[in-house]
Structure 1
Amino acid sequence: MCTRFLWSSEGSPGAGTVLVGRSMDWSDDTATVLAVRPRGVRRESTPNTPGDPHPFTWTSAYGSVVALMYGQAVVDGVNEAGFQVSGLYLSESDYGERDGDRPGLELYWAIQCLLDRFGTVAAAVEWLENDNVQLIEMDLGDKPGTGHIAVADPSGDSAVIEFIDGKTNIHHGPEFTVMANSPVYDEQLKLQEQYPAGGGTQPLPGGVESPDRFARAAYFSAMLPNTSDPREATAYAFSVIRNASAPFGTPDEAQRPEVSTTRWRTVTDLTQRRYFFESTTSPNVVWIELSQLDFAPGSPELVLDLVAEPDRVGNVTGEFVPVQ
């Protein structure tokens, strides 16, 4: 369920155009809409968990564009600083018994919180390490919302953040460019050593299981030619994330619960501040130019309903409407 990779188009971290490609794989239609969220908005960390012993609040320092699964849960997005966050499924996630001494953060709000508050990977990692935040699991549709998080910024910095046995486990550095689902990230990295991108000799796998998608994303992103052209770089990124997707009809969730059909894909240009969205049930790619948006405090939150109007195409920055 989902794959993510980070790539810098001129060969070294932060050089050229820095892009993140991700797929959203899920068992049913995610009814995903896009939203624009301005600076200066006060949010609560546990609005759906009344009586939580240690909630906290924050005010958004950055405006963002986000993808809302089921029109509610933020699962992907980028802010105006070019800081990008993706949430991917991980069945092994264990946020631990609720510890009232730790600040609680509902899963629905985790990605929005990071986008609101941080402009770099380093700043987000420092907060996660020092503030000892605890995620609160919430269902997404009819499935438990157990996941891990990937963050990236225009410098090419990256981090993969997991929550195992109630503890936060972070892999931080520009070398951690690829992420899929199960097993946990340390084991994914070991499995990768079998294949060409990790120095191994095993043939590149063609299946849709998580290790297979991880291996293909790592290999093909490493093989991309350098380019200084943002348009070309975006096409290259799409070619990789499409290759790591799961076609309709292939998953067998009874046997492989970490595998589902790819519902949509995004490619985020962190350098140009451009967010591309591609639904697998629509023939069109749409994109948003963050430079054309007004994120000033007091600006309305905006929404773009791609469920009701799936045939939109191209630059849709001006097609968002205020949330009612």
Structure 2
Amino acid sequence: MCTAITLSSGSNEQFFGRTMDFSFDIIPQFFIIPNSYTWNSILDRRQIIDSYRFIGVGQKLDGLLGFFDGVNEKGFAAAVLYFAGYAKYDEESKYRSKDAIASIDFLHFILGKCSSVESLPEVLKNISVVGVVDPITNTVAPLHWIATDRSGACVVMEATGNGIEIINNPIGVMANSPDFPWHMTNLRNYMGTSPTQMEKTVWDEVTLTPFGQAGGTKLLPGGFTSPERFVRAAYLKSHIPTPEDSSEAITACFHIMESVSIPKGAVKTSRNTYDYTKYTAFINTNTCQYFYKAYDDLDIRSISL
């Protein structure tokens, strides 16, 4: 589970944020990766050199450093979300003409190599994403990714049978399964949702009036499934007043994410563990500044590249 959004301010700053909803124990930390940082691919231990420095939230476990989200010095930001039942990674032997990248290395790879959303196709044209068991879940975690930059452009990257597909994301929202095109089609079921409401109507000779405000939002779904969270996030980010500056944008971002944040106890897995929002983070891609709030600490803290 997880939800991600983009948001623009009236001062032309671009923001990118996500909730990290997870049912496994994680200890997220901030890492700053310097310019020309050299690291070893999980798959074949070959050396990879990052082109850009970046700051990201991740975890180091059993000698493996994996990232959940981040932003680099060029303002390119990205995050990884679960994609259960839909991710189809390449087999390592299938694309011998391409450079294989482990699924849990992919976010590090693009943060270190991409200067913008526009640069993604060129960076990924010779890349094959291969599923690898991660030390947190001890499974080949099904993943997909969202990316944005200072221009406000936004894309989703989903692993299919034909490799990594880069999909334009005009709504600037992402959740989990099903695939992104399905979510966009599903929004058509909520076309009647509105910030305003009908003041009255007449049935036969009876005049009906609303109980109060918010009648126009009655169609919004209220659960925590991926489709419901996607719809709520899309509706809210599309209808809030445009924030005038950075401060208003950060406030708006966290309020939007309150509608999709999962309290502990609301969702329980078959493993008898709680799936809940471990943290919420927002990034100002113009300043490469993080704003971060943990489940057990409601203070919004800031850290910058």
TM-score, normalized by length of structure 1? 0.78
Check the 8 A contact 1:121/1:158 in 2, yes or no: yes
Task: Give the counterpart letter for 1:275 in structure 2.
Answer: Y
For the Cα contact (< 8 Å) 1:90–1:148, is it kept in 2? yes
Q: Structure 1: give runs of 5+ residues left out of the alignment.
A: 291-324
Match of 2:257 among 226, 236, 241: 241
Whole-angstrom CA distance in 1 between matches of 2:119 and 2:193:
29
Q: CA RMSD in A?
A: 2.5
Out of 1, 14, 17, which is 1:18 matched to?
14
Q: CA deviation at 1:231?
A: 0.7
1:2 aligns with 2:18: no
CA contact (8 A) 1:17 1:228 kept: no
Q: Determine the C-alpha separation between the residues in 2 that align with 1:230 and 1:262.
A: 24
The residue aligned with 2:76 is: 83
Aligned residues of 1:5 and 1:22 also touching (Cα < 8 A): yes
The one-letter amino acid paired with 1:239 is: H
Report the Cα offset of residue 95 of structure 1: 0.3
Q: Which residue pairs with 1:184 in the alignment?
A: 179
Partner of 2:98 in structure 1?
102
Cα displacement (A) at 1:181:
0.1
Q: Which residue of structure 1 lines up, in the alignment, with residue 134 of structure 2?
A: 139
* 8 Å CA contact retained: 2:114, 2:123: no
Alignment of 1:101-180 (within 5 A): 101-128=97-124, 130-142=125-137, 143-172=139-168, 175-180=170-175
DSSP-derived class of the 2:75 partner: coil
Deviation digits for residues 287-318 of structure 1 (CA, Å, limit 9, x no counterpart):
1122xxxxxxxxxxxxxxxxxxxxxxxxxxxx
Q: Are residues 41 and 197 of structure 1, via their aligned partners in 2, closer, same or farther at CA, if it must alter by over 3 Å?
A: farther
Percent identical across equivalent pairs? 26
Alignment check: 8 A CA contact 2:90 2:128 kept: no
Q: Does 1:68 align with 2:58?
A: yes
How big is the shift at 1:172?
Answer: 2.3
Whose Rg is larger?
A: 2
Aligned mates of 2:114, 2:243 — CA distance in 1: 29
Q: How many residues matched?
A: 276
Is 1:222 equivalent to 2:238 in the alignment?
Answer: yes
State how far apart, in whole Å, the 2-side matches of 1:150 and 1:225 are: 24
Question: How far has the Cα of 1:79 moved from its partner?
Answer: 0.8
Distance 1:253 1:112 in 2: 29
Q: Deviations over 1:84-138 (max 9, x none)?
A: 010000011010322233311112321111111111011023322x214223333
Equivalent pair of 1:62/1:115 in contact (CA under 8 Å): yes
Contact 2:41 2:105 (C-alpha < 8 Å) held by counterparts: yes
Alignment partners' CA distance in 1, 2:88 and 2:19: 23
Match of 1:297 in 2: none
* Contact 2:113/2:123 (8 A) holds in 1: no
- The DSSP-based 3-state class of the residue aligned with 1:81 is coil
Q: Secondary structure at the match of 1:121?
A: coil
CA–CA distance in structure 1, aligned partners of residues 102 and 250 of structure 2: 33
Compute the displacement of 1:43 (Å): 2.2
Equivalent residue letter for 1:69: Q
Name the amino acid aligned to 1:94: K
Give me the whole-angstrom Cα distance separating, in 2, the residues matched to 1:108 and 1:134: 9
CA distance in 1, matches of 2:304, 2:98: 37
Query: 1:224 & 1:240 partners in 2: Cα distance?
Result: 9
CA distance in 1, matches of 2:112, 2:221: 38
Deviation per residue, 1:257-303 (Å, 9 max, x gap): 9x93111111111122211111112232221122xxxxxxxxxxxxx
Task: Provide the secondary structure at the position in 2 that maps to 1:122.
Answer: coil
What is the identity, as a one-letter code, of the residue corresponding to 1:234?
Answer: I
Give how far 1:190 is off.
Answer: 1.2
The alpha-carbon deviation at position 176 of structure 1 amounts to 4.2
Structure 1 residue 186: deviation in Å?
A: 1.4
- How far the C-alpha of 1:246 sits from its partner, in A, is 1.4
Determine the structure 2 residue equivalent to 1:274.
Answer: 289
Q: CA deviation at 1:189?
A: 1.2
Which residue of 2 is the match for residue 300 of structure 1? Answer: none
* TM-score normalised over the length of structure 2: 0.83
TM superposition shift of 1:166: 4.8
Query: Could you tell which deviates more after superposition, 275-284 or 32-41?
Result: 275-284
